Amino acid sequence: MTKSRYSFVAIHHSLAEVLADRGLASLGDSFVNFVCSIALSNKMGKPIGTKVKGKVLAEALKKAELRGHAPSRRTRHMLADAAEALMAYAWLNGYVEFGECVSTLEKAETLVEGLGRLLAKAACRIRFS
């Protein structure tokens, strides 16, 4: 995969730094909702917009076995933000591709399962210096 850098994306040195990045979480919220909307639209055969609930994202982060990388005493909302930050970071830096995200979600039985797979892939592929 070709890495692509955007000037607004800070360089992170650990997964914990990525998961704590509030700016990435904000952008990741839109990215995750868009990817999920496209996957759902493909499944349903018509355009559908959706908003992914924080509970789903928090469960997906746990399913991906990444909960331990987030600081302790995190609320469900904070875990959801961490998942969104990771997805944004991975996509912006070329570790996951948009089409791959959509395809993974389409193939999954549940949204939690699909997002969990994406988060695990992203975390595995990211290399820190």
Q: Name the band, by pLDDT with cuts 50, 70 and 90, for residue 129.
A: low
Give the domain CATH number at 39: 1.10.1520.20
pLDDT in tens, 74-112: 789 999 999 999 999 999 999 999 999 999 999 999 999
Q: Which residue type occupies 55?
A: K
- DSSP-based three-state secondary structure for 113: helix
Q: How many domains does the chain have?
A: 1
Sign of torsion over alpha carbons 103, 89, 129, 79: negative
If one counts every other C-beta atom within 10 angstroms of the C-beta of residue 3, the result is 9
pLDDT of residue 11: 81
6 located within any domain: no
If one counts every other C-beta atom within 10 angstroms of the C-beta of residue 108, the result is 16
pLDDT in tens, 44-73: 999 999 999 999 999 999 999 998 877 667
Among 11-15, 18-22, 79-83, 96-100, the minimum mean pLDDT is found in 11-15
82 located within any domain: yes
